[in-house]
Amino acid sequence: MMNSLIPILISALLVFTAGCKKKSARLQGDCVPEEAVIGQVKDLDVKVSVVVPGDLCEVVPVGSIDTRYYVCNMPEIHQEKGKQLKVSGVVKSDPQNADACCVYRLVLTSVSAD
C-alpha cells in the first residue's frame, strides 16, 4: 500500500513546485548599445504603463511619482498594461528625452512576474 502512494506523492510534489515558479522569459541583448550607461537597477518593482507593440514598453517604479523607464527589450509575454514585474537592468541615457525629468532607457538583464 505504501509503495503505491510514493509515485502519487512525488507527482503531487512536482506539480506543486512547478506551479510556484515565477514566469520569466528570455531577453534580447542591448538594443541601444550606442547610448551611455548611467546606472543600473536590481530587483526593482515596476508597473507597465504604456505598451507600443514591436517598439517599446514604458514602466514606472511602484511608488514613484515621476520616474519612467523606456524598455526596448521587454519580452512579449510581459507586455501588458498594468502588469507588475520585478526587473533588473542597465540604465542608459535617452537623448530623445534629454530635457525631460526622470525619463531613462532601461535595457533589461532580468524580468519576472509573480
Domain boundaries of the chain, sorted by first residue: 22-113
Q: Name the DSSP letter for residue 82.
A: T
Domain 22-113 architecture: Beta Barrel (2.40)
Q: In sequence order, what are the beta bridge partners of 92?
A: 37, 105
Q: What is the predicted pLDDT for the residue at 62?
A: 96
State residue 19 phi and psi, 5-degree precision: -70, -15
Predicted TM-score (pTM) of the model is: 0.72
Measure Cα distances from 32 to 13, 61, 88, 100 in Å: 43, 21, 16, 19
Measure Cα distances from 99 to 36, 73, 78, 92, 95 in Å: 16, 23, 29, 15, 8
Q: What is the predicted pLDDT for the residue at 15?
A: 34
Q: What is the predicted pLDDT for the residue at 96?
A: 77
Q: What is the predicted pLDDT for the residue at 29?
A: 79
